[in-house]
A and B are shown apart, each in its own frame.
Chain A
Amino acid sequence: MSKLQQRTALVGVLVAISLALLWLNGTGRLEGVKSAVSLPFTAMQRSVARAWGNVVEIFQKNPDAEAVRQENTELQAEVNRLQTRVTELEENEAALKTLSGLVNYARTQPQNDYLAANVIGRDPSPFLKYILLDRGSDDGVRRDMPVVTDAGLVGKVVEVTSQACKVELIVDSNSAVNALLQKSRERGVVVGELAGGVVMQYVSQQVVIEPGEPVLTSGLGGTYPAGILIGTVSAVQKLNYEVLQQADVTPGADFTHLEIVLIIVNFKPIDLEPFFNATPTPVVPAP
């Protein structure tokens, strides 16, 4: 067997394994293995995310540090020490600000129980919009739990390991949220777009949508609680010859700068699947 034939055989085996993994993943049989294997990755991601956060802070908050270093070595050490302290305090202040925002939000929604979680990673694929949080099944996180910030809806938990979970953002092109226009009370579906925005679809042409109008979750379908802010209407796409219109929505949450989020842990999604799969009972004629 030539070297090329050997290599082709190896690639054939690896392709077959990959296809088998794809199939097994589709059937949900890989969850346990994935959960176990991802443990060291979660630990690494925590460390890298923390270290990266510190690096970003230093570059953002201390642009003149290079000039200071050149002035005096002793002063530099002192300045750096103080600067680090200031950065730490500013970081604490920023975290406090975020947390107070989240706490205030939580107070306005007393019916929900929240669990705060740090964002430790984002989806490596440019086509997918997922984030990884540092809370998992050990903390009580379950699949389909909604995730929010004080600015609005973030997404829902789609995968859980013991120490981390994966959240599908509402801007992912696979996401669909039943929504409600706050003023007109008209319903529609908010779907994600590849470019990172969201669009509210299936709105009747009869409804007048105004830019700036808040869009909330409607609670229909039972996947999200009702009344969570999704965003505000930024533009309306209305064509006279179409039955329905759609509206561009600016999400309330800033998905590029998500650091801490809240998971609604007491929300139980309603499984409507049995209604769609139910076989109609035959009508028995009266004797």
Chain B
Amino acid sequence: MTLLIGLPLLAIAAVIQSSVIANFHFYGGSLDLVLIMTLSWTLAGDWEGGAAWGFCGGLFVDLLSGGPFGLTSLALVILAYLASLTEGRLWRSHVLLPLITVAFSTLGLHVISLLGLSVAGWPIDWPLSLLRVTLPAAVLNTVFMLPFSGGLRWLHDILYPAQVKM
């Protein structure tokens, strides 16, 4: 069920990210729709499914990217797993959790991407990349996280209603 919902949503998100969102930049950064959706779905409560979303979403992004194939999926699987470690914590339902998660995950995604590109032979200017691209992207992703997080939590609750013990 997770992939049945996730595959079309992530495919559309990746295409929109490439065809529409890539035209808009906030300073040097841009919105990462697939990252936001993966984290939102994970934090909505599908702890295993989040990693699967990250894997598939990452492959879709890699398919449309000129970078090494498999790099984004690797990064998103790791980030979804780290986000899933909040399961069972008392502060899991805190409103700030998705915002903090996406801010740090943006940094994580970019660091893994830059490492991968560096290994593949791209010349990387780390300070410039982190300051001009990662920082604005983290701000942008944080701003857009709440509506996506709310929407996907709503969808998750419809598909997987919480069981009440009588």
Contact = CB atoms under 8 A, between A and B. Distances in A.
Contact of B61 (A4, A34, A124, A158): A124
Given A11-B81, A41-B60, A174-B122, A19 B74 contact: yes
Contacts of A52: 19-20, 23
B78 interface: yes
B67 A125 contact: yes
Contacts of B93: none
B17 A124 contact: yes
B70 to A, nearest CB: 3
B77 A194 contact: no
Given A21-B70, A34-B63, A41-B15, A121 B22 contact: yes
A248 B52 CA distance: 44
A120 B97 CA distance: 36
Interface string A154-172: 0000110000001010001
A122 interface: yes
A18 B124 contact: no
Contact of A7 (B59, B64, B84): B84
How many chain A residues sit at the interface, stated as a range, is: 35 or more
Q: Which secondary structure dominates chain B's binding surface? A: helix
B123 A173 contact: yes
Output the residue of B30, B74, B113, B121 with the most chain A CB within 10 A.
Answer: B74
Contact of B65 (A7, A19, A124): A124
Output the residue of B34, B128, B137 with the most chain A CB within 10 A.
Answer: B128
Contact of A130 (B19, B65, B73): B65
B137 A14 contact: no
A92 interface: no
Interface string A21-46: 11001100010001001101100110
A18 B70 contact: yes
A221 B67 CA distance: 24
